[in-house]
Every structure is written in C-alpha cells, then in structure tokens.
A and B are shown apart, each in its own frame.
Chain A
Amino acid sequence: MRALVLAGGLSHERDVSLRSGRRVLDALRAVGVDADLRDADASLLTHLAAVDYDAVLVAVHGGAGEDGALREVLDIAEVPYVGSTPAPCRMAWDKPTAKAIAARAGVSTPGSVVLPHAAFRELGAAAVLDRLVGHLGLPLMVKPARGGSALGCSTVTKPDELPAAMVSCFSYGEAALVEQFVTGTEVAVTVVDTGDGPHALPAVEIVPVSGVYDYTARYTAGQTEFFAPARLSDPLSAAVAEAAITTHAALGLRDLSRVDLVVDADGMVQLLEVNTSPGMTETSLLPMAVEAAGLSFGELLSELLARAASRG
C-alpha cells in the first residue's frame, strides 16, 4: 500500500490540518503503510502524475478540503481517496444545507437563521438583529455558514453582544448562521463504514474547562475534558448513534464522517454540524472515538485506504 496524506491548504484551518496530517502520517507508518505527506498546492497534480499512489487520505480542513473541490480534482486525476465524493461534501460543508437535509431525514437541529452581510446592509442591521433575537430568543450561537474549528464563532447571551459577533463571523465568511444555543451534553459521533454499512463509534463527550469549546479549548491539551464513551444512558447513546448514522446516510457520505450533536436537558438529540474531513490532531475527537472503540487509529485508516484503493 502506497498512500498520500494531503494536509495544509490555504484555508484558515491550515495549521490544524498540518497537525492532522502529521498525526495521520505517524499512525499509518506505525502500521506499515508506505505513506507520504504533502501540501495541497500548485504542484499536487504533477506529483500525483509522477508517483503511483494506491489511495489518498485528505486531511485538509476547511475550504477546498471540505467543500468538495479537492475531491473533484482527485476525481479528474483518477486517484482514489478515502471519504465522501464532492457533491455530498458540498452539502455537508454548508451548515444550513446539512441541517436542512438532516432535518428532512428526521434529525432535530436547533432553530436557526442564515443571513449574508448584504441582508443586514440592505435591510438595516439594528432592525434585523432585533427581530432575530425576537424570533430565536437568547442565548444564540453565531457561526460562519461554512467553516470549522469554531473559527469566527461566538456565543451571544445579551442582545448588545450580537453586532460584535456578526462582525467577527463575517470576517471568516460571507454568510452567518445564527442558531439557538442549546445547553446540554455536547458529543461528537464518528461514523465509519469499512464495507458493512455505516456504524457509529462511541460518542465522545466534550466538557471545555472554560465552558466554551472554542479554538483554544480545541487545540490546547488540558483545556477540555473528554469522556469517551460519553456519559449517556444506553437509550441516549443509541439515540446519538442513530442521529449520526441517519445524518451520514441522508447526506450520502462515504467511509467516514464526524457528526457533532448536543443532547438537550429534555434528552432530545440535536444536530450541530457534520464534518467530512474531521480533525485528526492530538486533541481531535475522531482518534479518541477510535481508541474508545478499542480500534487502532492507524489500522482503521489503513483499512479505509485499502477500501478506497479497491474502488480505484
């Protein structure tokens, strides 16, 4: 097996991706895979033409790594890769679209509104924000409609915090997803399909020390407590697994994904977002779930690469 791990890219999550790439490379080499690591840059196609890889693993987060573009390029280069095809990636990457598709499949998701900057400019920010709070209530979570690693995300507990949250959000992207903030148990469920249909790995529960799972809490070891498996009752564990698999299937995802959910105070499971190129850093959730399932991270990735190669 000769594999290529792609990491880096030009998105805001480049640094996270480079960390993911290095961890994936180590894990693959530890299980005997002949793996290379390289950036997704202007020389990628030349490199792919020159080296005969069996399969590629995309560890590029954000932007081209998750919006389907990089996978389109791999498709036209006729190189097999682990993970979802371009169209489902596009749908998963756009949070409002993913929420709508999951909701149609019966998965609950917090009430939300999607607005581009232009809407505020044309209709008057103060009036729109006022109505937004009236419609959704408080607290709110403001996040870029497309993005990851909590970049540009803010929790809003008072109306006067909303304008700053919007400005912060729009510096990361053109459209903002303003969502009801759901208090509860936050979990991430990794969905894996090694040939026998998608199944859920144990949910990982996230308890940030600061109370907010922001960039710092995500990528500073020690700033978040994790429980893997999550401290959920058996019925709730089954419910989050089912919600994750339903979401994965409804979006038409392939091989692996990570579905982020929250279990609210009433025990209702609600979808927050879906990741088609989930983080694989030292502090990331997917590797924790793999370990909690009693599996080897390197062997699982190796198996997925072999599965991708067999599609090639």
Chain B
Amino acid sequence: MPTPPGTAVTLDAFTDRYAQRTHGMTASEIRALFAVASRPEVVSLAGGMPNLSALPLDAVGKLMGELVQTRGAQALQYGSGQGDPHLRELICEVMALEGIAASSEDVVVTVGSQQALDLVTRVFIDPGDVVLAEAPSYVGALGTFSAYQAEVVHVAMDEHGLVPEALREAIAGVKAAGKRAKFLYTVPNFHNPAGVSLAEARRDEVLAVCQAAGLMVLEDNPYGLLGFDGPPTPAIRARGAKRGGDSDDVLYLGSFSKTFAPGLRVGWVLAPHAVREKLVLAAEAAVLCPPQLNQMLVAEYLSTQDWQGQVGAFRGMYRERRDAMLDALTQQMPAGTTWTHPAGGFYVWVTLPEGLDSKVLLPRAVTARVAFVPGTAFYADGSGRNHLRLSYCYPEPDRIREGVRRLATVLEEEVELRETFGATGPPTSLRSQSESPSPDLA
C-alpha cells in the first residue's frame, strides 16, 4: 500500500529499539569494495582464508564417513558444554608443542577461537573497561571488544613485537586516567596483521609487567605452529613453568583453523579453573555446546593422521608464498615504502610513503584489480591510515607477484596525486566502521 503523504519511511521499523552497541553497524563503503575482490580478475591480497589445497580431502572424507557410520549416535547428538573430553586431551598434546603443560580439565572447546575471544570478553569486560592491545591488532578481536563496549588502548610494537616499555607507559596512562584495564590482548606469533613475533627475550618481561599491574594476558595463538624457521617459540602461557607451573595469569586461545580446517570452527581456551567454570556457563548460554561432529572429526584427524606432517606441508606452502611476496615487494615498491618480514603466518604489514592514505587508495587499487585491507581496520581509534595489510596465504606465487606489481602502480599514481595536492587531512567521507573483509574472502 502507498504510504500516506507526509509520512516518513526509514525502511527499518526497529530503528529506535537497537542496543547502543549496534550503532556502528552500518553499511561500509570500504567493505563493499571487497565484493569486487572476490572476482577472479582481482588479485586479492585482502582476505585471510587458509589455503586448504594441500589438505588430504580423501582421508578426511573417509574419517567423516566412518565417524557417522560407527559413532553417529554420539557424533550427531548434543555434547558437553565444555567440549569433547577426548579432544580436550588431544588439545593438551597440541599445546605441549609450544611448551604448555595443561590439564584437559582447564580446556574449554569453542566455536573457533573467535568464540573464545567473545566468551572471555563477556566474562571480564564491563562497558568502559580498558583492554590493552597491540598497535595494530587483530580486527576480529577489536570487533569483539567493541561489541562489549570496551575501550581499547593500543600499545606500540616494533620488529620484535610488543614493546615492554610502551606497555608500562600504557598501563600508567590508563591508571592516571582513572580507568581500569582488565587484560592485555596479544598475538605473540606471526602477528595478524603486523607479521612480527614477540621476541623470546621479551616474553618474560611482558608477563612480569602485566603481573605487576594485576593484568591478565589474553594470549591468542592461531599461527604458532606455522613458523618457517625452526621450532616454535614457547608460549607466554608456558613462561611460568620455570617457576614451577604454567602462569595462571595467562588465558590462552588456540585454534585448528590454520593447522587443519577453518570450516570446522573448532578452537579452544585454556583458563584457570575458576575462570573456566564461568566460561563453560557462558558458552552454554551462547551455543549450548560446540559442534560434536566437528570435534570428533578433529579428534580422529589428530589421532589417526600425520597431522604434524600436514602442518609441515602448510608451512612449506606458506613459506613459498611469503618469499614470493617479499621478493616482489623488494623489486616493485616505490621509494619510501617499508614492510615487515614475517617468519611465519599469513601477513605482511606495509607502511606507505608519507602522506598516503590506504583507505583512500583502495578504490584505485580495486580499479587496478588488486585488493588489500586498509590499516585503519586494525585500530580501534581510526589511526593506521598510512598502513595496509597484505596476505600471502591464499593466491599462487605468480598471482602474488602480479598483485604486488599492480599495487606498486597504484601507489605510484597515488604518490603523484599527493604531490599534486600536497598534504591533506582525512576526507570528510568514509565514516563507517566495518572495514575488514568477510571471512570467506580469499
């Protein structure tokens, strides 16, 4: 029916009923541009999809079939809110590879480690509480912190990861402002998006600084087993071992998304027992239990397949792509551009020549058929305009080289444009917040 004259239509009957925390959930010009990146003509260096081409799908399919045939009644049933007990034992064996001695009783299986992030934040954060996080930080964590109305205070990093002195200063600053910081969120290995790792020598210091300030550490480690140079560095969670046991001040998040398959959505959190109890109740309120079938498949995969050999194959594949990207960057990038040299993981963090704005140049890049994520996606405060994240995990090495070549042309054009117009402030347009691609973008 036509609306009577003079009546306003907003096309959303719920406008006045949304919670305060949804106010930033608006359509985003930047996010819309990623739609183009999914077309094959575009070299997407924007997404973070693990490359599953090396996964033995026949073997996985056989496991899945046997699982349903022989234990279907259990696999297709509700399971424990804390997660499958057998899988939790195997998770402890996985964590042992990075020096963590843990009891399976303290492990909570989650729907990807993203749900673990959500649960921990839900359990600890009141609106206005401060979370300390690296600058830049994982966009998915920033989204979670924002959903619980936390205030994120970024802490500087360098090529050796989080800078302890900057952490001290940030803690002091939060205290001086009369605010309460609850935890430090950190991705110590092959950081997303920064591509650097927290040096082993700094790990004790970072933990000690947090302990002295009464801060927990939320250690998020999805990439730890994907290092290209030697064995993994012991986790921060393992540091307390020297003093007779792992540190209870560290909540540790792990995931099978990068070592096995992200579509299964199986991750975990290791937490002290008191916290774990609350996490289980929070998890049950959210999802009742993690998917039982997926958990049992992961358990079967870990028990019957050479999964560490498979992770080795992933490492080799990612290393080849990392090399292609670093090589292409060295050959192609215009003067004044710098970038990190990841020793594992998926990402290179690029610092642009002075005055360039990654958010503004994304449309030009999309026109040139290459995509990246603007640096602003990785800061809670809108900074990061002169950075961008490139991922090398998914495209073939030749496509990576071609993508970097296209990006170099775009940067050169943008440098020329900036020379024409001189220094400018940020544009008055581009006011939205959601600036990261959806998880299914390569």
Contact = CB atoms under 8 A, between A and B. Distances in A.
B426 interface: yes
Interface string B364-398: 10110100000000000000000000000000000
B429 A214 contact: yes
B69 interface: no
Chain A, interface size category, equals 35 or more
Interface of A: 8, 10-16, 18, 39, 41, 117, 120-121, 125-126, 150-156, 160-161, 163-168, 170-172, 202, 207, 210, 214-216, 218-229, 231, 282-283, 288, 291-294
Nearest to B3: A228
Given A16-B32, A215-B27, A221 B12 contact: yes
A152 B360 CA distance: 9
A154 B429 contact: yes
A156 B421 CA distance: 15
Nearest to B422: A163
A187 B339 CA distance: 48
Contact of A15 (B32, B364, B427): B32
Nearest to B6: A231
Given A164-B427, A166-B421, A10 B41 contact: yes
Nearest to A151: B29
Nearest to A13: B32
A208 B360 CA distance: 23
Contacts of A161: 425, 428
Nearest to B414: A171
Interface string B1-42: 111011111111011000000000011110111111001011
Contacts of B424: 163-164, 167
Interface string B351-364: 00000010011111
Contacts of B364: 171-172
Contacts of B10: 221-222, 224-226
B53 interface: no
Given A227-B6, A227-B7, 13 more contacts: A14-B39, A15-B35, A125-B420, A151-B363, A163-B421, A167-B417, A168-B360, A214-B431, A215-B32, A216-B28, A220-B27, A221-B12, A227-B8
B399 interface: no
A203 to B, nearest CB: 11
A220 B35 CA distance: 17
Contacts of B357: 167
A207 B8 contact: yes
Contacts of A215: 27-29, 32, 429, 432
A160 B428 CA distance: 12
28 contacts: A10-B39, A12-B32, A12-B366, A15-B31, A161-B425, A163-B422, A165-B427, A167-B418, A171-B361, A171-B414, A214-B429, A215-B32, A216-B27, A216-B29, A220-B27, A221-B12, A222-B11, A222-B12, A222-B15, A223-B26, A226-B8, A226-B10, A226-B11, A227-B9, A288-B9, A292-B2, A293-B2, A294-B2
Contact of A168 (B14, B36, B429): B429
B424 to A, nearest CB: 4
A172 B363 contact: yes
Nearest to A17: B35
A121 B11 contact: no
A225 B366 contact: no
B126 interface: no
Contacts of B367: 12, 172
Contacts of B15: 222
B158 interface: no
9 closest residue pairs by CB, A with B: A222-B12, A15-B35, A219-B27, A221-B12, A164-B424, A15-B32, A168-B427, A222-B15, A215-B29
B205 interface: no
A121 B1 CA distance: 54
B159 interface: no
B11 A282 contact: yes
Interface in B273-328: none
Contacts of A229: 5
Contacts of A283: 11
A231 B4 CA distance: 11
A170 B420 CA distance: 12
Contacts of A219: 27, 32
Contact of A170 (B11, B29, B417, B426): B417
Contacts of A153: 429
B416 interface: yes
A161 B363 CA distance: 20
Contacts of A154: 427-429
A126 B419 CA distance: 11
B33 A12 contact: yes
A26 to B, nearest CB: 16
Contacts of B28: 215-216
Interface in B120-172: none
A125 B424 CA distance: 12
B422 A125 contact: yes
Contact of A121 (B8, B420, B425): B420
Contacts of B425: 160-161, 164
B360 A167 contact: yes
A10 B36 CA distance: 6
Contacts of A166: 421
Contacts of A16: 32
A218 B419 CA distance: 33
B427 A167 contact: yes
